[in-house]
Amino acid sequence: MILARIINSIIIILCAYILLKLIQYFLKKLFELTRFDVRYENTLSSVLCSMAYYIIFILTIILLLKEFNIVDVTKFGTLVTGASIVGLIAGVASQSILKDIFNGFFIIFEKQIQVGDFVILNEEFRGTVEEIGLRSTSLRDWDLRRVTIPNGNILSIRNYSRNTMRVVVNVRVSYEEDPMKVINALEEVCDILNERHKEILSIKKNKESYGKFKVYGVTDIEESPIGAKYTITGIVQSNKYFKVLKDTKLQILITFKDNGINIAYPTHINVIKDNIND
């Protein structure tokens, strides 16, 4: 008898898993036939899959409880009526589940964020939206860590994907280097970056990009005694910001090395006191 129940339980779990995968497959095929915006499709698909997961999970738990005679499904409707349902909702709300779900619905249907957007949440968590569920939202930050925030905890949203972001890179070079040599090298960096990233440079007018990388010039000679600060800037699509930022820094190092330009670094002088008694 116990063995039969265990086998039935395994079958229930397998069926639930297969059903979830089938729903995900059919949703994918369904969205292939639609003409929605790709990011909106991904967001809607993420939400519907999340809903399917929770529904199947609850049904699976009920069937497993029934299999072991822990709950009588025929009386389940009575269980969640009257005062019982009030107690159930209060219990769920006390765990912030309802808060997460309600906030999630507002985020999704007001299109505050969508899958693929680059966002900053609560002025603390930043990254690309990877998944939006009923209870939580997941980001992938610049070092590829996955960060998950309960929807109920999201108090502020800064969405950069509908705008552009300015890449600003500062580099400090020794005062001994010829300033014009440094600027020429940085202009070479800008030319390389403009060619490499011409498809994602933003703010275009008459096919000419106003977001091209350019040398901003010498921006500081007073803050540090070790060298002058030079700055280059460019404007890119927000979802490509970190990629271009890292590439910009790498290209500066490569070009400086090719041109024999040394980046300034602090020098430490250690004074060792000789304590020799005569």
Where does residue 193 rank: exposed (0-12), middle (13-18), buried (19+ CB within 10 A)? buried
pTM of the predicted model, to two decimals? 0.49
Q: Is the pLDDT at 188 greater than 50, yes or no?
A: yes
All domains in the chain, ordered by first residue: 2-159 (1.10.287.1260), 164-258 (3.30.70.100)
User: Which residues contact residue 231 at a Cβ distance below 8 angstroms, ignoring those fewer than 6 apart?
Assistant: 168, 169, 170, 171, 215, 216, 217, 219
Q: Using 50, 70 and 90 to split pLDDT, how confident is the model at 73?
A: low
Assess contact for 186 and 177: CB atoms under 8 A.
Answer: no
**Looking at residue 201, what DSSP letter applies?**
B
Residues 43-58: pLDDT tens digits?
677 777 877 887 888 8
Range 132-139 average pLDDT: 85
Cα 107 to Cα 113: distance, rounded to the nearest angstrom: 7
Q: Output the CA–CA distances (angstroms, integers) from residue 260 to 181, 183, 229, in the order listed.
A: 10, 13, 17
Q: Using 50, 70 and 90 to split pLDDT, how confident is the model at 181?
A: very high
| Whole-number pLDDT of residue 4 | 82
| Whole-number pLDDT of residue 83 | 44
| Whole-number pLDDT of residue 63 | 86
- Look-up: residue for tokens 């994602």? 200
| Whole-number pLDDT of residue 247 | 94
| Whole-number pLDDT of residue 57 | 87
Which amino acid, 89?
Answer: I
Q: Using 50, 70 and 90 to split pLDDT, how confident is the model at 207?
A: low
